[in-house]
Structure 1
Amino acid sequence: MIITKTPLRISFTGGGTDLPAYYEQGYGAVVSAAINKYVYITMNKRFDDTIRISYSKTEIVDSLKEIQHDIAKACMQMAGVEKGVEITSISDIPAGTGLGSSSSFTVGLLNALYSYCGERLSAHELADKACQIEIDILGHPIGKQDQFAAAYGGVNYFAFERNGIVNREKIDITEEDKRLMDNKLMMFYTGIKRSADGILAEQSAEISKKMDVLNYMREQANDMKHLLMESGFDNRFAEMLDAGWQKKKSITSSISNDAIDNYYNKALEAGASGGKLLGAGGGGFILLYCDEQYQNAVREAVGLIELNFRIARYGSRVVYFV
């Protein structure tokens, strides 16, 4: 049996510049972090040649071509595993909430499948293959940041080059800055689940009209990298989150709505210094920077379910192999 553990992610700045429609005209850049909420994949040899896959539903099929889960099917085809396996996925957080769960699933499943075949892929190889599956093979209108954040873990700066190559620069935050991040960053669930594909497809279609906004967001990622590496985690981080969120909302009307704006404004009025909606937009989790003395007031003001989390140092790992 094999078990993989793959983190979800929070994106701080540059989201949207990892879409091909943008970075193919120059380059994109994102600063993001993995968090200690995970997608777990278990994989075991089956007693016969059938395939059993369990996620939100269960499939038991005789051949690979019968599998309905498009990502699982594509991952198995890529790894060359065609029969006689049982695969189960469990996630700490529901899909469609802006934390990159689909890409974490893809990276984690590829890690399990290649380990099953006796191969150990690097984080970069896992992320590249996950991008091939989600973007090139399945045609999902998404970017590349989620796959790389899930594969690498930690806090990173990713640059998305015109030719599709992704360069990663690890941001080595100090132990004190990690403690501050863990203590000052808060996350609340809006209660709204959505598919990112439609929102991202709309954003891609609008990119030519919003180049100035996306250029700003890319430069923000460069600035945040320098802030974290040279000065550390402080209130300027909150100001960048807020400025980036205000810019991102201007790309399309589907990114935010009255309910999300209301929650966010209540949080600021109660003492949060800045924040943003995570993911493509339209729902999911709101990320906030808030000093500890105001956090209870913020919790009371927004009245939403809070997700307690920490920054995760490690990306996708095989945690059990026997």
Structure 2
Amino acid sequence: FQKGMVKISSKGFKSATYPLEHAPFDHPLGLMFAIASYFNAEGIHINIESSSPPKSALGGSSAAAVALIAAFSEAYKKMGAALLPRSEIVSLAYAVEQSVAGVPCGLQDQLAAVYGGVNAWFWQGEVKGSLYKRKIVIKKKSHIDFARHLLLAYCGIPHKSEQINSRWIRQFVSGKHRNYWYEIIECVKTFVNSLSDGNYETALVSMNRETALRRRMTPEVLDEMGKKLIAVALEGQCGARFTGAGGGGCLWALGEKIKIDRLRNDWKNILGSRRDARLLQIDIDSKGVRKEK
């Protein structure tokens, strides 16, 4: 590619080409430009391929950032540099994305992309040592079976999670709804432990309670279609929640296999009323970031 330039192409976005030293980090593809700038990578064309819809609140930008950092690490290895360990890929992807976003971000999307699997992550809150600890919730041998307990729907409109995330932070800092956050923490703990034990009944109760608390704090996490999808899931004795911070994008459901199979038809009927809205295939990635052969 042209010397001094960097081009980025991605499904759902218009391709963009800029001189590396002037690449805009506030561009829709700004995170990718920021990573290219970090590695001082000019004269390249970065092509991003994704099977998920753009801005679907599935952590796609974090996954792309992780993949791009790993790719640059492989390229630098050929020039004699040490390969970045997974923990450093997480930290770098997180630091760059949070800087570009301009709002506090979590580590969960980067951790999922790097390590794969079905895990719960615990923030250590310590100055020394690891920032996080992993608990494997569903073992690798059970991933295929666990996927049959899940349902994922794209609502047909892109998410706007930055605004909702910022509102949650402002509420917490001001002291508003802080009691809800204490209850959310307990819901998450119960959900993780119940799911790890295979106790779906208890897991669903805590999942639906957490969703209800989020809706109280920020009703805009769901549009009218989202509300319908949640309602029919609850009627079918399943758990349902928006992905990410909501405000568009996707919703997912959890339940016993027979109930998820029934819910699939109900969700299909609701999603059929909006262009581009549809069910998405679920495949659990058990390996995380890796070099394709």
With normalisation by structure 1, the TM-score equals 0.76
Structure 2: distance between partners of 1:146 and 1:257 = 24
Structure 2: distance between partners of 1:145 and 1:133 = 15
Alignment-derived partner of residue 206 in structure 1:
171
| Residue number among 300, 306, 310 corresponding to 2:283 in the alignment | 310
Structure 1: distance between partners of 2:105 and 2:164 = 10
Structure 2: distance between partners of 1:176 and 1:53 = 37
What's the secondary structure of 2:105's corresponding residue?
coil
Alignment-derived partner of residue 57 in structure 1:
14
| Residue number among 188, 196, 200 corresponding to 1:221 in the alignment | 188
C-alpha spacing 1:175/1:220, structure 2 compared with 1 (3 Å): same
Structure 2: distance between partners of 1:170 and 1:101 = 23
- Asked if the contact 1:272/1:295 (under 8 Å) is kept, the reply is no
- Asked if the contact 1:180/1:233 (under 8 Å) is kept, the reply is no
- Asked if the contact 2:62/2:110 (under 8 Å) is kept, the reply is yes
Structure 2: distance between partners of 1:166 and 1:192 = 34
- Asked if the contact 1:268/1:274 (under 8 Å) is kept, the reply is yes
Note the residue ranges of structure 2 that are not aligned, 5 or more in a row. 272-277
Residue 128 (structure 1) aligned with residue 91 (structure 2):
yes
Alignment-derived partner of residue 185 in structure 1:
150
User: 1:62 offset after TM fit, Å?
Assistant: 4.1
| Residue number among 273, 287, 293 corresponding to 2:258 in the alignment | 293
Of Structure 1 and Structure 2, the greater strand share is in 1
Alignment-derived partner of residue 115 in structure 2:
152
Alignment-derived partner of residue 245 in structure 1:
211
Structure 1: distance between partners of 2:260 and 2:191 = 24
| 1:89-142, Cα deviation, whole Å (9 max, x unpaired) | 011112221211111111111111122111422222111111111113552443
- Asked if the contact 2:200/2:256 (under 8 Å) is kept, the reply is no
Map 1:13-162 → 2, pairs under 5 A: 46=1, 48-55=3-10, 56-66=13-23, 68=27, 69-81=29-41, 83-118=42-77, 119-162=82-125
C-alpha spacing 1:291/1:226, structure 2 compared with 1 (3 Å): closer
What's the secondary structure of 1:91's corresponding residue?
coil
Of Structure 1 and Structure 2, the greater helix share is in 2
Q: Which moved more, 1:65-74 or 1:205-214?
A: 65-74
Structure 2: distance between partners of 1:228 and 1:70 = 37
What's the secondary structure of 1:158's corresponding residue?
strand
Note the residue ranges of structure 1 that are not aligned, 5 or more in a row. 1-45
Structure 1: distance between partners of 2:266 and 2:101 = 42
Amino acid at match of 1:72: M
Structure 2: distance between partners of 1:315 and 1:268 = 32
User: 1:233 offset after TM fit, Å?
Assistant: 5.0
- Asked if the contact 1:96/1:196 (under 8 Å) is kept, the reply is no
| Residue number among 211, 221, 225 corresponding to 1:259 in the alignment | 225
| Residue number among 215, 236, 243 corresponding to 1:278 in the alignment | 243
What's the secondary structure of 2:65's corresponding residue?
helix
User: 1:54 offset after TM fit, Å?
Assistant: 1.5
Amino acid at match of 2:34: A
> Percent identity of the aligned residues?
23
| CA root-mean-square deviation | 2.4
What's the secondary structure of 1:71's corresponding residue?
helix
Aligned length: 272
Structure 2: distance between partners of 1:293 and 1:162 = 41
C-alpha spacing 1:253/1:225, structure 2 compared with 1 (3 Å): closer
User: 1:161 offset after TM fit, Å?
Assistant: 4.3
User: 1:280 offset after TM fit, Å?
Assistant: 0.4
Structure 2: distance between partners of 1:111 and 1:86 = 16
Alignment-derived partner of residue 200 in structure 2:
234
User: 1:153 offset after TM fit, Å?
Assistant: 0.9
- Asked if the contact 2:66/2:113 (under 8 Å) is kept, the reply is yes
Structure 2: distance between partners of 1:289 and 1:63 = 44
Structure 1: distance between partners of 2:163 and 2:95 = 19
User: 1:237 offset after TM fit, Å?
Assistant: 2.0
